[in-house]
Amino acid sequence: MSGLNPVAAAESQAELIIDLAALVANWRSLAARIAPAACAAVVKADAYGVGAEQASKALYDAGCRVFFVAQASEGVRVRAVVGAEPAIYVLNGLIAGAGRLDPYVAHDLRPVLGSLEDLRIWSASGLGRSIKAALHVDSGMNRLGLPHGESLTLAGQVGALGIDLVMSHFVSSEVSADPLNAQQIAGFDAVRAAFPGLQASMANSAGLFLPQRPFYDLVRPGYALYGGNPTPDAPNPMRAVVTLRAPIIQTREIGAGESVGYNAQWTARRVSRLATIGVGYADGLLRALMGTDARIGGEAVVAGVHCPFAGRVSMDLTVIDVTDVPGGVRAGDMVELLGPTITVDDMAARAGTIGYEILTNLGRRYARTYRR
């Protein structure tokens, strides 16, 4: 089960279909691309919204043996379904305080140590003698990780700390021509040379498609596994994993000049047919997808026709202009909000955001169907 309360189809006004076979196919495609390096899976944030337990189990069954999460609580959930064999790294490092290290001991989680304070806590605990850890070196993100200089002073200490992996994170790998990529790779190469006995990891989803092929020993895809495009300037090489559908709950016809929704932001320019669905921003359909007189917002596919949103996205409802659907629509007809036709990247572009936000906002009220 995911960390969200399951909702039965009869209780929900929308269905989220998660294609675990597509998820596995995406992982296998990336694993083949980077071989002989190993391919991990990033399953933080409830596996980018699709369900950490279901995604992790499917990936484990497919052969994945290294997982990354953001927080120890996520690692506990993943360990419960993948068993004792895989390595599970916790990206956000350690937090000082009584009992904070207990999950690492109880569930064999590997912390990613990214500061001198992390190293102090870990060293004082003595856990490095029994639990592996990773060393995070900052190469330009300035978010987490030790600066190069500080990391190089640890070259002789990694054995006592149980460190088996040195890693960093790209700033702009989705822009293949960005000179920052080459700068970061050069900097990380220098750090890696100081730790010859450790595995090395740098590439995220987009990093797997950089011409420099910075695969090292281990890559850490996340977004691409769930169908997001790791190459924004080229066709998406990944398969769609999520499909979001909702039934129409009411239709109506309005005249030219009538408005729709809060604050009358959308005005019909002709006699229009409208359909209302029971999905809104409380379900993760971002309010920025509103359609107004000044801009085209989100859209849905209704009977094969792309239909724009009309007016503001409300908490629980969204109105769609279905005037151009041949033969009309009726209550109960299904509309596609995400899927093979409207990708997470398509929706994100219309909302002025990124597909990561679309995925991780997938709502708690959807009836979730997992397909294998």
pLDDT digits (tens, 9 = 90+) for 328-364: 999 999 999 999 899 999 999 999 999 999 999 999 8
Strand ranges in the chain using DSSP code E only, listed in sequence order: 15-19, 38-39, 41-42, 66-69, 87-90, 110-113, 133-136, 163-167, 199-201, 218-219, 242-254, 259-260, 266-267, 272-277, 299-302, 305-308, 318-321, 334-338, 367-371
CA-atom Rg of the chain in angstroms: 23
The catalytic site residues sit at 44, 262
Residue type for 192, please?
A: R
Q: Is 2.40.37.10 the CATH number for 242-371?
A: yes
Note the pLDDT of residue 13.
86
DSSP state of 356: H
Note the pLDDT of residue 12.
67
Q: Where do the domains of the chain lie? A: 37-226, 242-371
Note the pLDDT of residue 317.
98
Q: Which of 241, 239, 233, 187 is nearest to 210 (CA)?
A: 233
Residues 367 and 282: their CA atoms lie apart, in Å, by 15
The band of 1, judged by pLDDT with boundaries at 50, 70 and 90, is very low
pLDDT digits 0-9 by tens, 34-76:
999 999 999 999 999 999 999 999 999 999 999 999 999 999 9
Phi, psi of 271 (to 5 degrees): -60, 125
Query: Averaged over 120-129, what is the pLDDT?
Result: 94
**Total-model pTM:** 0.94
- pLDDT above 90: percentage of residues in the chain: 90
The contacts of residue 63 (CB under 8 Å, 6+ apart) are 28, 31
Estimate the crossing angle of helix 20-34 against helix 52-62, to 10 degrees. Answer: 50
* Token code pair at residue 223: 């977004």
Q: Is 143 helix (H, G, I), strand (E, B) or coil?
A: coil
Class of domain 37-226: alpha beta
Note the pLDDT of residue 96.
73
Note the pLDDT of residue 156.
81
* Cα dihedral 339, 342, 345, 347 in deg (nearest 10): -110
